């Protein structure tokens, strides 16, 4: 499997984790948190489109940044959920 495919699948995995977390009805998510999450994953989509359409200059760096954005988004969601559960 090539690097680009591996990174795209990593982003997909994180996105599925976010979906699972959002569908958890026991947890409430704030507007600010959801706005941050929407921005990060929108940027991920733009990055992936740039790689797919060959408009990104450096695919490797673009994909690394994309994975980082997806991880940050997931961490925002998880850290808020963990704070609410403890509080």
Q: Where are the domains of the chain?
A: 32-87
User: Mean pLDDT score of the chain, rounded to an integer?
Assistant: 89
Question: Three-state SS for 4?
Answer: helix
43 in Cβ contact with 69 (< 8 Å): yes
Helix (H) or strand (E) holding 28: none
Q: What is the pLDDT of residue 29?
A: 84
79 in Cβ contact with 33 (< 8 Å): no
Record the pTM.
0.84
Helix (H) or strand (E) holding 37: helix 31-52
Cα-Cα end-to-end distance for the chain: 43
Predicted confidence (pLDDT) per residue in 10-52, tens digit = 999 999 999 998 898 777 888 999 999 999 999 999 999 999 9
């Amino acid at each position: 499997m090539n690097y680009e495919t591996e990174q795209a699948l990593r982003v997909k995995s994180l996105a599925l984790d976010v979906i699972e977390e959002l569908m958890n009805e026991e947890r409430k998510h704030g507007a600010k948190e959801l706005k941050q999450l929407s921005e990060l994953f929108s940027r991920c989509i733009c990055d992936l489109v740039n790689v797919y359409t060959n408009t990104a200059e450096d695919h490797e760096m673009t994909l690394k940044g994309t994975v980082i954005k997806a991880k940050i988004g997931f961490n925002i969601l998880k850290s808020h959920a963990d704070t609410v559960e403890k509080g």
